[in-house]
Structure 1
Amino acid sequence: MNYSEIRSKLTTWFQYYFVFSKAALLISALVFSHSLVKHAVVDVLMSYVTDEWEDVPIHIAAAAVNTYEVTSTIVVVLLAHASDAYFGRYNMIRITTKTYFLGLVVLWITGTKIWLFVVALVLISVGTAGKEPPLKEFLVDQLRGHEQSLDGNDEIRVQARTKVWWRFWWCLGSITATFAFPNVDWPNAFQIVIMVMFVAYWLFRFGEGLPYCQSPTSEEKQTGKKEASASPLSLAYRVLKAAIMKRHLHYPDASKFFNNDSGELILLPNIPFFRWLDKAAIVDPSSHSPEEQEKQGKLCSVAQVKEIKYLLKMVPMWATFLVYGLVEATGSTFFVEQTSNLSSPIANSFVDIVIAFNVIKSFTSFILPYLYELLIQRRWSDGRQKQGGLLVRIGVGMVSSILCCCAAWLVEVRRLNMVEKVGGKDDSELEIHMSILWLVPQFCLLGFMEGLAQAGLVDFFCDLVADSMKSYAEPFTGYILSIGKLVNIACVFVFRDWFRDNINDSHLDSYYLMLTILSSANLCLYCFVSYEYMGGEEDAAANKKPHAILEDGDQVFGTVSDPSIGSLSTTHSSVRQTIRCLSARQSSVQTTSSRPLRSSKSLGIYGDV
């Protein structure tokens, strides 16, 4: 390969991933400021609490930090809903950025006033909710608008450019946090991040004159007007409400389902436990017209019901991330506290070592998904291989969580032994002769967890649910992890004897050992759940064969097709002729999807009714 060919390929690669956009550049100022504040302040809140309130026991400080994290993730979901349903992304970014700025100001003037500290954390939790999905999706809008002005809407290229653009500015903010805050006290650190956030906000406002591109929500695209139903939360409420109101109705033939374009008799995915949700799409013949029932919230389309059922298919996978959330909560609290009594080989240098650890974690979690996409994901030829690869990727992340807990346990055993030798259990300020670099493996493994398991869960979510819900992948993932953080809060009070007034008198080694055991058991649960998602070869083959389904005591036969899943064969004596007609009409359009047909008897993911 000569020089011109190499240059041509590099040029093509660069043009594919990089594009200049004035609007995106101004938005990136906010991305940079979010990254800087996260790494310089939010990620080290545990250190701030223990430094400012020396009499606060470490379990109380950990509970305070985890409570903030839980509040933040819950607010993310609620504000994402409000952004799509009512305010729009641009207005939501303005509101949350102002709130973020105000929260940092309150934190700066807090002093030792606990009530002001609580107010600051609430405001900051609202501010961080403006990062995803509103800010990221708004950046997508700018790059998508730029792409449309060139050569049409290439959505794959837009998403690739968004990832590169976002990751570049996020990494730049984390690197700046590492080198800009060595030996800086908390008041001065707060002043710096407040100024950066203020400048970034007004740069963002400057883009109003460009103007910014703003894509409508999915509901706007369909109806031309903006309604709350554009949010998955509103859609879930509508489907649930309609299904409950029509719980007395019997399952009809395919023609009685509202907007049943594919002629399905059983709405896929066929989850027996949630089969009753299908009744939300039944047209009530004794009531008003279908259009009127839909306006009254008593009727949903088949597509809307299927969106919610695909979302509910994520429940078994989400359940395996509760223990994972417990480990992640420990990483943002007790891991940070472990750095307080260790000696640093680069003390008084131009690097803040604690912030550097979090940057290492963030960098690892950012680079792993990119390498995964570049080296592994592109080699898969079909959807089944892709989904199997995602499950393996999450499994490796689960293994990383075990190794992370194990590494933290071994380091803590060594640290406590050294504290015991010098007799410094009662001295919270004692610095032992143990290098802080011993903590590098556990922080790196935290990054491996996030880059493999957490990012893999986001991709798995996007692969499973409808397109309209993909922007909610990270908020929903954060919400599930917040449940694990709530469990961590409960654990620090249940195992109170392990947590004393200072870290030298505590037994974090026992807590880390417990997490290692729990994570190992959780890995076994994950292996079982992932196998049920994929199913064995025999189950997959069985699902492709015609089989009988009993419904209200009658046998049903015929062909029911789902364009996104595959075909399902059923029989019903009372609708035999109707199904035959539908089968003849659909035989020419039955397809095999990239989303494979899987069987799960024990979890109820698929299977017979």
Structure 2
Amino acid sequence: MEEEQEHIYTKDGTTDFRNKPAIKKETGTWKACPYILGNECCERLAYYGINTNLVNYLKFQLDQSSVVAINNVTNWSGTCYVTPLLGAFLADAYLGRYWTIACFSVIYVFGMTLLTVSASVYGLKPPCDENVCHPTGLQTAVFFIGLYLIALGTGGIKPCVSSFGADQFDDSDEAEKKKKSSFFNWFYFSINIGALIAASVLVWIQTNVGWGWGFGIPAVAMAMAVVTFFSGTRLYRSQRPGGSPLTRICQVLVASFRKFRAQVPRDKSLLYETVEQESAVKGSRKLDHTEQLCFFDKAAVETQSDRIKGSVNAWRLCPVTQVEELKSIIRLLPVWATGIIFSAVYSQMGTLFVLQGNTMDLHMTPSFEIPSASLSLFDTISVIFWVPVYDRVIVPFARKFTGHKNGFTQLQRIAIGLAISIFAMLAAGTLELVRLREVRKHHYYDLKHMPMSIFWQVPQYFIIGCAEVFTFIGQLEFFYEQAPDAMRSLCSALSLTTAALGNYLSTLLVNIVTEFSTRHGRPGWIPDNLNYGNLDSFFWLLAALSVLNLGLYLFVANWYTYKRPVVSAH
């Protein structure tokens, strides 16, 4: 009878919306996923509806120079990937993923509403005459308040949605666990459906109908995302928040440094661990001891002073599982760091690729022009093409050679994407080199659009889309799987901060090359009129950094040890 009861409920500690143990047949798996994927699709439509064309809004509506506009876009994008650290901490420690998504979604909707108002309401909308706008300080301030409210709102959604979706599959059930890898593929697919609509329909509306409509439609999409998410409440499985992960990390650090002279026993079974079957960390399975980073094992060496009146002092003695949590985080950091250059490459789609496209012939037909920012839809088309190809063709084919159930390990998948991204920068640099030769040959310097089709940009967008499918999805799955159970939102946020630092790195590189390349009265690599610049040199720089980054990544990946959860006795 007890065995039957065990098979009714999930074994990974998830609960239903009433905070009771989740029943397998009634909750989770693919039946809960459409609501999560629908939420993500609408939210990404809203995000990319702003991000894709933001550089043009800043340049032409807020009258900013190219360098200032590029830096404002990358700084905002970077902030959107830093705030997830706050949302992840609240989710893992106190609120849980469900309520964190719900609360921050409301903030997001407020930000979208303010952004729409700033672009459409008289007095807040910048006045324009003869294609030149003259925004006041107040109008610019209102726009940026709305923009950064969105950055705060996305901080509670980004780190939680992918992890919350993965929570719908029981790790201890082999049949469900196999489906989890496919979930990450289709999760990223849904992101790009939203991005596709943003890059095609919304960018056209912003350019040809008006920015008020262009921001208003994503605002409605975000409101729909909230409704969609709440619709699936009864079907969701949730992990209980496990208390502050930062406190547990600090406890291991303090305990290990307090006992830096203690000898770690050769027999690791003598290290302290709770005798109960469940882990001392709420919402987490026990973890097996690993040999790396053995200094921190000192925190689990029991001495006479570690107990106060029979109870354990958590700042002097930590169970092996808690020590292994810290080790898991430290092992993730080198892999995490190698994602920064890739994110800097990826961020060019929303900045320099758009400005490069602005200089080219935008005509699809003699009477129809495509906005330069809409070329990012080829990145999205690439992702939409490669996700099912990867899931249905590449994985079964690779499985025959590697023997791995998912075709490639997560680290191998990331490496392939890093290698592909190098070719995206080479394609962009080659195109710019050819474009500048035509400018100099025919003296097109002062032409707004030179007679060279913008569709020559398609290869660089398509290659980046292919790299995304390998690297970004690989990172999503890797950071979820390798994170301690009670730190999954935090580790998802950690993976997102590579995008933040990639954007900030792009800002730094732009500022550095502008400083050095504009000396002695030269126009520099990235002037307002790119026909006088050397944008190709910036792409070569990113390609070179990507090659160095790939070499470092291969070294780091070879060193990495995967975490080992303790198999449940029942």
Superposition TM-score, scaled by structure 1 size: 0.71
User: Quick one: which amino acid aligns to residue 244 of structure 2?
Assistant: A
Question: Is the contact made by 1:344 and 1:436 (CA closer than 8 Å) also made in structure 2?
Answer: yes
Structure 1 equivalent of residue 419 of structure 2? 399
Residue 485 (str. 1) matches residue 503 (str. 2): yes
Q: How many residues align?
A: 495
Change beyond 3 A, Cα 1:25–1:491: closer
Of 446, 451, 455, 1:433 maps to: 451
Q: List aligned pairs for 1:54-133, cutoff 5 A.
A: 54=63, 56-110=64-118, 111=126, 112=135, 113-133=139-159
Change beyond 3 A, Cα 1:521–1:436: same
Q: SS in structure 2 opposite 1:346?
A: strand
Aligned equivalents of 1:476, 1:307: Cα separation in 2: 14
Q: SS in structure 2 opposite 1:74?
A: coil
Q: SS in structure 1 opposite 2:218?
A: helix
Aligned equivalents of 2:391, 2:155: Cα separation in 1: 27
Question: Is the contact made by 2:203 and 2:374 (CA closer than 8 Å) also made in structure 1?
Answer: no
Q: List aligned pairs for 1:235-314, cutoff 5 A.
A: 235-252=248-265, 254=268, 257-259=271-273, 268-271=289-292, 274-289=293-308, 292-294=311-313, 296-314=314-332
Unaligned runs of 5+ in 2: 1-27, 119-125, 127-134, 277-287, 518-524
Question: Is the contact made by 1:40 and 1:355 (CA closer than 8 Å) also made in structure 2?
Answer: no
Change beyond 3 A, Cα 1:26–1:467: closer
Structure 2 equivalent of residue 539 of structure 1? none
Aligned equivalents of 2:423, 2:413: Cα separation in 1: 15
Q: CA deviation at 1:386?
A: 6.6
User: Quick one: which amino acid aligns to residue 301 of structure 1?
Assistant: P
Residue 184 (str. 1) matches residue 209 (str. 2): yes
Change beyond 3 A, Cα 1:135–1:463: closer
Question: Is the contact made by 2:188 and 2:473 (CA closer than 8 Å) also made in structure 1?
Answer: no
User: Residues 547-589 of structure 1, C-alpha deviation per residue, up to 9 Å, x if partnerless?
Assistant: xxxxxxxxxxxxxxx9769xxxxxxxxxxxxxxxxxxxxxxx9
Aligned equivalents of 1:121, 1:169: Cα separation in 2: 23
Residue 410 (str. 1) matches residue 430 (str. 2): yes
Aligned equivalents of 1:119, 1:348: Cα separation in 2: 40
User: Quick one: which amino acid aligns to residue 67 of structure 1?
Assistant: N
Q: CA deviation at 1:195?
A: 2.3
User: Quick one: which amino acid aligns to residue 240 of structure 1?
Assistant: L
Structure 2 equivalent of residue 50 of structure 1? 59
User: Residues 312-364 of structure 1, C-alpha deviation per residue, up to 9 Å, x if partnerless?
Assistant: 22333334333223212323311122121221232698995545432331343
Question: Is the contact made by 2:104 and 2:154 (CA closer than 8 Å) also made in structure 1?
Answer: yes
Residue 228 (str. 1) matches residue 235 (str. 2): no
Q: SS in structure 2 opposite 1:305?
A: helix
Change beyond 3 A, Cα 1:93–1:451: same
Q: CA deviation at 1:433?
A: 0.8
Question: Is the contact made by 2:184 and 2:473 (CA closer than 8 Å) also made in structure 1?
Answer: no
Of 216, 221, 240, 1:217 maps to: 240
User: Residues 21-78 of structure 1, C-alpha deviation per residue, up to 9 Å, x if partnerless?
Assistant: 5x65555553232121133222322222222233x22222221111112211111122
Q: SS in structure 2 opposite 1:501?
A: coil
User: Quick one: which amino acid aligns to residue 104 of structure 1?
Assistant: M
Q: SS in structure 1 opposite 2:451?
A: strand
Q: CA deviation at 1:92?
A: 1.6
Structure 2 equivalent of residue 159 of structure 1? 180
Q: CA deviation at 1:401?
A: 1.6
User: Quick one: which amino acid aligns to residue 189 of structure 1?
Assistant: G
Q: Percent identity?
A: 26
Question: Is the contact made by 1:181 and 1:352 (CA closer than 8 Å) also made in structure 2?
Answer: no
Question: Is the contact made by 2:189 and 2:384 (CA closer than 8 Å) also made in structure 1?
Answer: no
User: Quick one: which amino acid aligns to residue 228 of structure 1?
Assistant: S
Q: List aligned pairs for 1:375-394, cutoff 5 A.
A: 375-378=393-396, 379=399, 389-394=409-414
Question: Is the contact made by 1:369 and 1:452 (CA closer than 8 Å) also made in structure 2?
Answer: no
Change beyond 3 A, Cα 1:291–1:348: farther
User: Quick one: which amino acid aligns to residue 281 of structure 1?
Assistant: A
Structure 1 equivalent of residue 48 of structure 2? 39
**Comparing 103-112 with 185-194, which one deviates more in the overlay?**
103-112
Of 194, 201, 206, 1:173 maps to: 194
Change beyond 3 A, Cα 1:519–1:167: closer
User: Quick one: which amino acid aligns to residue 396 of structure 1?
Assistant: I
Question: Is the contact made by 1:179 and 1:352 (CA closer than 8 Å) also made in structure 2?
Answer: no
Aligned equivalents of 2:389, 2:335: Cα separation in 1: 24
Aligned equivalents of 2:475, 2:161: Cα separation in 1: 21
Q: CA deviation at 1:258?
A: 1.4
Q: List aligned pairs for 1:590-601, cutoff 5 A.
A: none
Change beyond 3 A, Cα 1:366–1:456: farther
Superposition TM-score, scaled by structure 2 size: 0.75
Structure 1 equivalent of residue 13 of structure 2? none
> Of the two, which has the highest radius of gyration?
1
Change beyond 3 A, Cα 1:471–1:89: closer
Q: SS in structure 1 opposite 2:180?
A: helix
- Name the Cα RMSD after superposition: 3.8
Residue 448 (str. 1) matches residue 466 (str. 2): yes
Q: SS in structure 1 opposite 2:113?
A: helix
Structure 2 equivalent of residue 514 of structure 1? 541
Change beyond 3 A, Cα 1:260–1:101: closer
